[in-house]
Amino acid sequence: MRQRVLTMAATGAAAALLLSACGGDGGGGGEATGSYNQGLTEVVNPSDQTGGTLRFAISADIESTDPGNTYYGYVWNFSRFYARTLYTYTAAPGEAGREVVPDLAEELPEVSEDGLTWTVRLKEGLRYEDGSEIVAEDIRYAIARSNFGDQALPNGPKYYQQLLADSEDYEGPYADPDDPFEGFGGIETPDDHTLVFHLKEPFYDFTYVMVPPQSAPVPPEADTGEQYQARVVSSGPYRFEDDWRPGNGLTLVRNEEWDAETDPVRTALPDRITVEEGIEQNEIDQRLANGQLDVDLGGTGLGPAMKGQVVTDDAARANLDNPENGAHYFLAVNTQVEPFDDQACRQAIQYAVNREAVQRAWGGEVGGTIATQVLPPVIAGANPDLDPYPSEGHAGDADAAREKLAECGEDGGISANLGVRSDRPAEVAAAEAIQESLARADIEVSIQQYPSDTYTNTQAGSPSFVHDNELGLMIYGWMPDWPTGYGYMSQILDGDAIKDAGNSNLSELDDPEINELFDEVITVEDPDEQAEIYAQIDELVMDRAVIVPMVFHKSVLYRPDNLTNAFFNPSWKMFDYAVLGTTETGS
């Protein structure tokens, strides 16, 4: 079926939407009047006040500022300040925030009747920070550099490489700089404002693939590979003030070439945006409460210490939102590290983990709900009754775990290394809870801590590192790339998604039956039929015991009184950064 959906003009659309959501009139930005969980359904402290400095901080270093070389959700959200994409999500709380709308694109894609050809037309007059025009070939180049060839950027997903036709032998744009598109038939650019995507087979989620920052344009002459992150050429309302170096922080200032008339979501209220890196989580939380910071960039919410204080304080609760954000924190069990190459040994871990203790590590009920299956409840196909490794009170079953150890020939007990991100206190506390509960089943665990900015690329996400260091167990958190089972599960469970670096399939699961179901579901258009397949995949994954479900995460997000236009966007799974402002104009 040929599809073309028109969108209304974007003139002032973002600001108008924010103000109308709360009945605000756009005046001034006075004293905040928020209440507990208000940001889940409406905009808190709506304002169109411009000026000031919006202040972010993060406990690690930013993974990468390069839109094509990142897989952390907070970077996907934050990078929109300086990187526009083909499509984005509506700037609104609640279900409205799940709607895909054009960004650089003029309208939603035209799709051929066979589902194989997707045509996207760009708005005209779009410009980079230097005044040069953004053209279709720059987006084609951006997708090529992040997805194809041995020198492709390692950190992001590889959906385009998996889905695009006529590109199997393409070696990427770095292989031949004089002819960067040689062998790349998956995307055509018949003119400066048109992209034509050719798919191997129908994939009805493809519009979602064009939302993440890999579709942000990159001028080929400015590309310096992995060093491009030092100064990304801006297509958004802000540009880099100076070169960025990990650990040194980042400052964004206004990009005078950005045209608000073309932008459906960004309000560009602050004059400056700053990011401090490597700030200890307790300090971030305290500075938020004191009004010395505006936003925790990581987006996962308060750490355990501050969380315990504010959730029981009636006055402080008015500044909190406690959404179930679609994230699942789980324990990945690597199938290539002994003795977990044996299914029964993996099932022993499933039985032994005390999920109740892990939930407490995340702050109890405000930190998340206990998970017994892979799919989060917000995804169609999730089955809350799926619990193949039950125990009383979810406290673990040491006897059942020992029986499984005996079944895999390890009745004397086993030892394992457990990887965790060192700068995330809740994850470290969860690792210690896992260590204690597995010890009751004769499983000795040694906790190995790594920084989060390198965890997915260099340690847990590098199969060679995992094998060399015998990381049989790894704590990981995963949010849907988009709100379907494929958008959630494919990168962590499909064998085709395993990568040498930046790997998210930490279990290295390459199961033919599961792979075949992923191949099948992308050709299915009916959502109910898709959900049935996703439920089947979930059951098979739990049987293979490669993921130990722990908690469906609930973040505790803090809104300082001076933060304006604050709300939880379910698509970004945190505050919608692109519309935030501040009343502290003297900052």
Condensed to tens digits (0 to 9), the pLDDT of residues 511-533 reads 999 999 999 998 898 999 999 99
Q: What confidence score (pLDDT) does residue 319 get?
A: 96
Q: Which residue has the tokens 């990142």?
A: 70
pTM above 0.95, yes or no: no
Residues 332 and 476: beta-carbon distance below 8 Å? yes
Helix 343-352 vs helix 398-407: crossing angle, to nearest 10: 170
Residues 237 and 256: beta-carbon distance below 8 Å? no
Residue with the larger pLDDT of the pair 19 and 284? 284
Three-state secondary structure string covering 285-328: HHHHHCCCCCEECCCCCCCHHHHHHHCCCHHHHCCEECCEEEEE
Residue with the larger pLDDT of the pair 424 and 257? 257
Q: pLDDT (tens digit, 9 = 90+) per residue, 112-139?
A: 999 999 999 999 999 999 999 999 999 9
Closest Cα partner for 586 from 242, 290, 250, 291? 291
Alpha-carbon distance 366 to 320, whole Å?
11
How does DSSP classify residue 199?
A: B
The residues facing 54 across adjacent strands are: 273
Backbone region of residue 15 per phi and psi (left: phi > 0; alpha: psi in -120 to 50; beta: other values): alpha
Answer positive or negative: Cα dihedral of 434, 446, 388, 407. negative
The amino acid present at 522, given as its one-letter code, is I
The residues facing 417 across adjacent strands are: 446
Q: Which residue has the tokens 């469906």?
A: 552
* Strand extents, DSSP E, 192-307: 194-198, 238-240, 250-254, 272-276, 295-296
Pairing of strands 557-558, 368-370: unpaired
Q: How far is CA 273 from CA 54, 209, 345, in A?
A: 5, 28, 49
For the cut 60, the answer to whether the pLDDT of residue 2 exceeds it is: no
For the cut 80, the answer to whether the pLDDT of residue 27 exceeds it is: no
Closest Cα partner for 61 from 214, 241, 233, 244? 244
Alpha-carbon distance 310 to 320, whole Å?
8
For the cut 50, the answer to whether the pLDDT of residue 438 exceeds it is: yes
Q: What confidence score (pLDDT) does residue 32 get?
A: 45
Q: pLDDT (tens digit, 9 = 90+) per residue, 49-96?
A: 999 999 999 999 999 999 999 999 999 999 999 999 999 999 999 999
Q: What confidence score (pLDDT) does residue 33 get?
A: 59
The amino acid present at 44, given as its one-letter code, is V
Q: What end-to-end distance do the CA atoms of the chain give, in Å?
A: 53
